[in-house]
Amino acid sequence: STGVEASIQVKPSYGLTDSEIASMIKDSMSYAEQDVKARMLAEQKVEAARVLESLHGALAADAALLSTAERQVIDDAAAHLSEVAQGDDVDAIEQAIKNVDKQTQDFAARRMDQSVRRALRGHSVYEV
């Protein structure tokens, strides 16, 4: 060993002025807001896709439980959701999801009733 000692001092803000640091912090907060908005949009789009996929499965299995008019209302609500889910309006997507839910509540109840009837068919009250 040569007996020579070296040391380095690292300063994270070396070369940056206070105003540059403040600007960087401000920018990071601005981008954080954009990130939150982007995440909310992505989550609503995923939820819209999930709702539509579930609805299509339910319709494929039990469309016979609906009248022609009911089916049309549900199809219209689903088409509207599919359309707004392509855009970037988080509130519009959320409202369209709520509308599909509202328009399919009776259908969902009928599907549940049908499932219960199938499960209980051939059984007495005492067996259940």
Q: Is 125 a domain residue?
A: no
Residue type, 71: R
Better-scored residue on pLDDT, 125 or 29: 29
Mean pLDDT, residues 15-30:
82
- Name the CA radius of gyration of the chain, rounded: 28
Contact between 71 and 107 (Cβ < 8 Å) = no
Q: Which domain holds residue 112?
A: 42-120
Q: Is 84 a domain residue?
A: yes
CATH code of the domain containing 114: 1.20.1270.10
What Å distances lie between residue 6 and 1, 3, 9, 13, 102, CA to CA?
13, 10, 10, 22, 72
Report d(CA 33, CA 83) in Å as an integer: 26
**Tokens 């690292």 map to which residue?**
10
Q: Is 26 a domain residue?
A: no
Structural domain count of the chain: 1
Q: What is the pLDDT of residue 13?
A: 52
Q: Is 59 a domain residue?
A: yes
Q: What is the pLDDT of residue 21?
A: 83
Q: What is the pLDDT of residue 14?
A: 62
Mean pLDDT, residues 53-81:
98
Contact between 95 and 103 (Cβ < 8 Å) = no
